[in-house]
Amino acid sequence: MPSSNPAFRGLPAAGNGPSAGWGSAPQQTYGGAPTQHDPYAAPSPYAATDRAYMTMDDVVTKTGLSFLVTVLSAAVTWAVLPDSLALGLTLPAVLVALVLGLVIAFKQVANPVATLTYGALYGVALGAISETFNDQYSGIVSQALIGTFGVFAGMLVVYKTGAIRVTPKLTRWIVGALFGVLALVIVNLVASFFIPGGLGLRDGGPLAIIFSIVVIGVAAFTLLLDFDMADEAIRRGVEPKFAWYIAFGLLVTVIWLYIEILRLLSYFRE
């Protein structure tokens, strides 16, 4: 079955191909009768194999470990580092994490060091950003965390119950929306150099609130692609290490979702 997830385009499915099955079909010989098929010479479907396959436990374990490293990094930054040092490390951490994330995404790097390093770097930035927001709007971080968990759990239920199915058409819509949001953010940033507030997408006004809600919606639907990637990988019988790539994808989406919810709550506080 062709994949609706872009990450699996060109990835061969396990066990498919001309050699799949219990044995080869009878071969026709020239000038004589076909050779006989010996069913006892075929490998048993219950025979042990040396290859390991990724399971949902692998995905849950790797994803949980990635989130744990991110949260611990954020907590240490918030609780231990001075405010000035934490804020000074935010931009370098984000830039390094951005470059690392692009490498992981485009080369499909399934490596624990890469994924955990990405989580630790973004944890530094999240710790400093969260502390700044919480100092200005008391209790906003806990509200953002609850909102992020709620959206994540809600989309997981929607996916598992089949209320929304990840089809090629839906995938194209979500990817198109992602590029649209990215383009608007870049245009707004460039416009802000010439016009105060840019296009008004991040100034806390009504348009900014609407845009932030749209971004949260796009991030929430992106979670469906991440869930579908995990299921597709399990169906295709990929190696267990690929769970680190799936954990990276979920980490990127959840971090994005948390920051956008934090931003939206700050608009309402104002």
pLDDT tens-digit map of 56-86: 999 999 999 999 999 999 999 998 888 888 8
Calpha distance 81→74 (Å, rounded): 10
Domain spans in the chain, listed from the N-terminal domain onward: 53-269
Task: Kindly state the average pLDDT of the residues 35-47.
Answer: 46
Give every CB contact of residue 8 below 8 A, 6+ residues apart in sequence: 229, 232, 233, 236
Query: Which letter, b or e, does each residue of 50-76 get, where b requires 16 or more Cβ atoms within 10 Å of its Cβ?
Result: eeeebeeebbeebbebbbebbeebbee
Block residue for tokens 């399990």: 234
pLDDT tens-digit map of 107-140: 989 999 999 999 999 999 999 999 999 999 999 9
Task: Kindly state the average pLDDT of the residues 146-159.
Answer: 95
From the CA atom positions of the chain, what is the Rg in Å? 24
Report pTM: 0.80
For 218-267, give the secondary structure using H, E and C. Answer: HHHHHHHHHHHHHHHHHHHCCCHHHHHHHHHHHHHHHHHHHHHHHHHHHH
